[in-house]
Amino acid sequence: MRDEIMFLAEETPEGGFVASAIGYQIVVEANTFEDLRITIQEAVRTFFKQPPYPRLIRLNICKEELIHV
């Protein structure tokens, strides 16, 4: 197992966030960024079932912005 796991999070059009783990089948949703962090921690513990868990969770936020020319 790796020492860290990486998630890529995006804001949803409806509001809230969705995050996916890179290299693992873990996807979570939450209404707020703070809830997203908690939900990711719980999902990682659930996915790996028992220690040792990854020591670090790296969370990258992707924000799309459209700029008209």
Nearest Cα residue to 17 out of 58, 60, 54: 60
Cα dist from 50 to 13, 14, 42, whole Å: 35, 34, 12
7 pLDDT more than 80? yes
Number of domains in the chain: 1
Q: Is residue 47 part of a domain?
A: yes
* Domain membership flag for residue 69: no
- The CATH number of the domain holding residue 57 is 3.30.160
For the stretch 38-63, pLDDT in tens is 999 999 999 998 888 899 999 999 98
State the amino acid at position 27 in one-letter form. V
The model carries a pTM of 0.85
Domain range for 42 is 4-62
Q: Is residue 28 part of a domain?
A: yes
